[in-house]
Structure 1
């Protein structure tokens, strides 16, 4: 799956980009018609620790899913967003099966 990663207000290192790619590739186990994923990484200049925002837009034929998570680290945000996307993809797959 193609994952487009954009980082805002900082430069993401290759290790983080590889981690995101690996985690998003696992979503294809739940729904094999995923076209691509756009990922936006943002750092807000605030005093509290949860200043990292992970946003993902997953494109499937005829629809797209958007998940936005705010966490202490991007890795935590990736995991939370991926599990949320897993639930959405499972629900979509069940709906498509029900219509057959």
Structure 2
């Protein structure tokens, strides 16, 4: 699986990038045919509390799955994104199995 990361309006630290790669790599356990995962990090409204937005777009054969979360930290946002993406991948896998 190929993992791409984009950080908009800031530079992601190496520890944050390592954290994201480790978390996103676990998505392959939910669905083996994941081709590509694109993670986008963005700071929205810098003055507010909940301002760290993370989104993950996963490409699987015949479809793209997307998830987006906003939290206090990027780690928390990515964590929640990965959790809900696992749910989406499981549903997608079931749908493919029933065809």
User: In which range does the TM-score fall when normalised by the shorter chain?
Assistant: over 0.9
Alignment of 1:36-47 (within 5 A): 36-47=36-47
- Compute the TM-score of the two structures, normalised by the length of structure 1: 0.94
Please tell me whether residue 49 in structure 1 is matched to residue 49 in structure 2.
Answer: yes
1:31 paired residue number: 31
Give ranges in structure 2 of 5+ residues lacking alignment.
Answer: none
Partner Cα distance (1:68, 1:41) in 2: 10
Alignment of 1:8-87 (within 5 A): 8-87=8-87
Runs of 4 or more above 3 Å deviation = none
Structure 1: segments with no counterpart, 5+ residues: none
Give the paired residue count.
99
- What CA distance in whole angstroms lies between the structure 2 residues aligned with 1:10 and 1:37? 20
Q: TM-score, normalised by structure 2?
A: 0.95
Q: Could you tell me how far 1:60 is from its partner in structure 2?
A: 0.5
CA apart distance, 1:46: 3.7
